[in-house]
A and B are shown apart, each in its own frame.
Chain A
Amino acid sequence: MDDLFAARSQMALSLGFHIIFACIGMVMPFFMATSHYKYLKTNNPLYLDLTKAWSKGVAIFFVTGAVSGTMLSFELGLLWPEFMLHAGPIFGMPFSLEGTAFFIEAIALGFFLYGWGKFKPWFHWFTGVVVGVSGLASGILVVAANGWMNSPSGFDFVDGKYLNIDPVAALFNDAWFTQALHMTLAAFTATGFAVAGIHAYLMLKGKYVDFHRKAFTIAIVFGAVAALLQPISGDISAKDIAVRQPAKLAAMEAHFETSKTAPLIIGGIPDVEAKEVNYAIKIPGALSFLAHGDFEAEVIGLDQFPEEHHPPVAVVHYAFQIMVGLGMILVGLSLLYFISLWKKKNWQIQRWFLWLFVLATPLGFIALEAGWTVTEVGRQPWIIYEIMLTKDAVTPIPGIRYSFFIFTAIYISLAGIVSFLLYRQIKAVPATLAQNSKTNADS
Chain B
Amino acid sequence: MLYVVIIFLCLALLMYVILGGADFGAGILEIFTPTRMRAQLQNTTYKTIGPIWEANHMWLIIAIVILFVGFPPIYTTLSVHLHIPLALMLIGIIGRGTAFVFRHYDAYQDDMQKVYDFIFTYSSFITPFFLGLIFGAAVGGQIDPEAMGFYEAYIHPWFNLFSVSVGVFTVAICGFLASVFLVGEAKKAEVKMFVVRKAKLFIVFTVLAGGLVFAASIIDKVPLVGLLLTEWITVGTLVLATLAIVFLWLKLQEGSKTLVRLLSGFVVSAILLAFGYHYFPDLIILKSGENLSFFNSAAMGKPIDTLAWALLIGSLFILPSLFYLLYSFQKPKSVE
Contacts and interface: CB of A to CB of B under 8 A. Distances in A.
B106 A421 contact: yes
A414 B98 contact: yes
B225 interface: no
Interface stretch (B58-66, B196-204, B215-223): B58-66
Contact of A89 (B64, B70, B101): B70
Contacts of B299: 88-89, 165
Given A59-B105, A167-B306, A414-B94, A86 B54 contact: no
A335 B47 CA distance: 47
Q: Secondary structure at chain B's binding surface: helix, strand, loop or mixed?
A: helix
A64 B302 contact: no
Interface string B308-336: 00110110011001100100110001111
B69 A67 contact: no
B304 to A, nearest CB: 8
Contacts of A109: 54
A106 B333 contact: no
A114 B101 CA distance: 13
A93 B310 contact: yes
A217 B100 CA distance: 32
Q: Which of B75, B78, B79, B329 has the most CB of A within 10 A?
A: B79
Contact of A396 (B58, B66, B80, B335): B80
Interface in A105-131: 106-111, 113-119
Nearest to B68: A88
Interface string A163-189: 001111000000000000000000000
A84 B314 contact: no
Given A74-B90, A104-B318, A92 B307 contact: yes
B98 A395 contact: no
Contact of B107 (A64, A118, A428): A428
A424 B93 contact: no
Contact of B57 (A66, A168, A424): A66
Contacts of A12: none
B182 to A, nearest CB: 18
B312 to A, nearest CB: 10
B192 interface: no
B276 interface: no
A78 B333 contact: no
Nearest to B78: A77
B87 A118 contact: no
B105 A60 contact: yes
Contact of A78 (B50, B86, B97, B336): B86
A90 B303 contact: yes
B51 A71 contact: no
A411 to B, nearest CB: 9
A259 interface: no
A103 B307 contact: no
B149 to A, nearest CB: 11
Contacts of A88: 68-69, 72, 75, 299
Interface stretch (A94-102, A288-296, A356-364): A94-102
A11 to B, nearest CB: 14
A76 B64 CA distance: 11
Given A74-B86, A84-B68, A107-B325, A100 B76 contact: no
B240 interface: no
B55 interface: yes
Contacts of B87: 78, 403, 406
Contact of B336 (A68, A92, A100, A118): A118
Given A106-B58, A110-B325, A67 B98 contact: yes
A410 to B, nearest CB: 6
Contacts of A165: 299, 301-303
B57 A77 contact: no
B52 interface: yes
Contacts of B307: 92-93, 96, 167
A427 B106 CA distance: 11
B59 to A, nearest CB: 9
Interface string A68-81: 11110111111001
A88 B72 CA distance: 6
Interface string A393-425: 001111000010010001000100100010011
B83 A395 contact: yes
Contacts of B102: 60, 417, 421
Interface string A365-404: 0000000000000000000000000000001111000010
A56 interface: yes
A414 B73 CA distance: 33
A79 to B, nearest CB: 8
Given A76-B68, A92-B303, A99 B105 contact: no
Contact of B321 (A60, A85, A107): A107
Nearest to A423: B107
A299 B73 CA distance: 42
A111 B333 CA distance: 13
A314 to B, nearest CB: 32
Given A77-B79, A403-B87, A92 B105 contact: no
A62 interface: yes
Contacts of A82: 76
Nearest to B298: A89
B262 interface: no
A114 B50 contact: yes
Nearest to A90: B303
A395 to B, nearest CB: 6
B321 A71 contact: no
Contact of B108 (A63, A116, A424): A424
B32 interface: no
Given A110-B55, A117-B335, A167-B302, A60 B75 contact: no
A305 to B, nearest CB: 30
A428 B106 CA distance: 10
Given A168-B306, A425-B105, A67 B93 contact: yes
B150 interface: yes
Given A71-B90, A95-B65, A114-B51, 16 more contacts: A66-B54, A70-B93, A77-B68, A77-B76, A84-B72, A92-B303, A92-B307, A104-B317, A108-B321, A117-B336, A119-B328, A165-B303, A167-B303, A167-B307, A397-B83, A403-B83
24 contacts: A62-B54, A66-B54, A67-B94, A69-B61, A70-B93, A73-B68, A77-B78, A93-B306, A96-B307, A96-B314, A99-B314, A100-B314, A103-B62, A106-B54, A106-B55, A110-B51, A110-B52, A118-B328, A118-B333, A165-B302, A165-B303, A166-B302, A397-B83, A425-B105
Interface of A: 56, 59-60, 62-64, 66-71, 73-78, 81-82, 84-86, 88-90, 92-93, 95-100, 102-104, 106-111, 113-119, 165-168, 395-398, 403, 406, 410, 414, 417, 421, 424-425, 427-428, 432
Interface of B: 50-52, 54-55, 57-58, 60-62, 64-66, 68-70, 72-73, 75-76, 78-80, 83, 86-87, 90-91, 93-94, 97-98, 100-102, 105-108, 150, 153-154, 299, 301-303, 306-307, 310-311, 313-314, 317-318, 321-322, 325, 328-329, 333-336
